[in-house]
Amino acid sequence: MNSIIHIFTNPFLVTSLSSWAIAQVLKVFLHAYVTGKFDITRLFGDGGMPSGHSATVTSLATITGLMYGFDSFQFAMAAVFAVVVCHDAMGVRLETGKQAQMLNEIIKVFETVTKHDLPDVILKEFVGHTLPQVTAGVLLGIVDAVFVYYVILV
């Protein structure tokens, strides 16, 4: 039973998950504001503003630095992990989304021109992030970790 309590009171896990949750909730409302459509599936979707991945890993690195020191090996590991995840979100995953968008458009054109329906497969287009989306996620992660550390833990 103690192990379960430790999981739910682990400041690294709680801070990371709270940053992710805040980012995902913001994503739903920002998407609704921009598109005029409320889409609850954005709560668990990839891509969009702010980056939940960036918020999660940045808050983990920040809380690690605050608790162990910014000169610790723990912070170094978490910071490198955060950089890799943020870079990947803007690189491979963003390009994957662009390719999915293009392929979905090619399928529509093909079906229109040939009058033949292709198998009903639509590729996910929201998988990566732009620099502003990653930056917003990073800032959210830092603010959340600082809040958790100074308001809840200390």
pLDDT of residue 129: 73
Q: pLDDT tens digits, residue range 29-56?
A: 988 898 898 888 888 877 778 999 999 9
Provide Rg for the chain, Cα atoms: 19
Specify the DSSP class assigned to residue 149.
I
CA–CA gap between residue 12 and residue 64 (Å, rounded): 7
Q: Is residue 36 classed exposed, middle or buried when 0-12, 13-18 and 19+ CB atoms within 10 A define those classes?
A: exposed
Q: Is residue 54 classed exposed, middle or buried when 0-12, 13-18 and 19+ CB atoms within 10 A define those classes?
A: buried
pLDDT of residue 126: 64
- Tokens coding 103: 């392929």
Tell which wins on pLDDT, 53 or 104: 53
